[in-house]
């Protein structure tokens, strides 16, 4: 099912694998490192539970750093979710994380709100 969805593009042009607590239900399937080989993955998403520990928990920082390295070594785009502080952004930038998402950037938006958000960012000169 997941492979068919990924190929069909129903969940966007790229598939993402969420690295969460291994063995626990994550989004629509169980997160596992074997998914990196089983599906046409182009992006690797770091779960916000790890990102939230940046600056507070060295183990979380080590996990984030390792996942960024793993993703890049496989030629994947790495995304950190749940980014809420500038300290987290600085940590992720220093480790060359490709993208961030979280309340620091924006709250979840409807399609219409997202269009307005993008237009406002363009007007302000932000990319």
Lookup: tokens for 19: 């690295």
- 89 closest CA partner among 49, 108, 60, 80: 80
Evaluate whether 12 touches 21 at the Cβ level (below 8 Å): no
Evaluate whether 2 touches 39 at the Cβ level (below 8 Å): yes
Q: Tokens 């994380």 correspond to what residue?
A: 97
CA distance 60 to 64: 6
As annotated, the active-site residues are: 81
Instruction: Indicate the Cα dihedral angle 71, 72, 74, 79, nearest 10°.
Output: 40
């Amino acid at each position: 099912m997941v492979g068919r969805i990924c190929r069909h593009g129903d969940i966007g042009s790229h598939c993402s694998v969420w690295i969460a607590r291994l063995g626990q239900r994550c989004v629509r399937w169980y997160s596992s490192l074997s998914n990196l080989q089983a599906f046409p993955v182009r992006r690797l998403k770091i779960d916000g539970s790890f990102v939230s520990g940046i600056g507070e928990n060295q183990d979380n920082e080590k996990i984030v750093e390792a996942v960024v390295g793993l993703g890049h070594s496989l030629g994947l785009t790495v995304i950190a979710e749940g980014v809420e502080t500038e300290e987290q952004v600085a940590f992720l930038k220093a480790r060359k994380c490709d993208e961030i998402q979280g309340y620091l950037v924006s709250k979840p938006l409807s399609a219409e709100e997202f269009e307005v958000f993008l237009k406002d960012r363009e007007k302000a000169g932000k990319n």
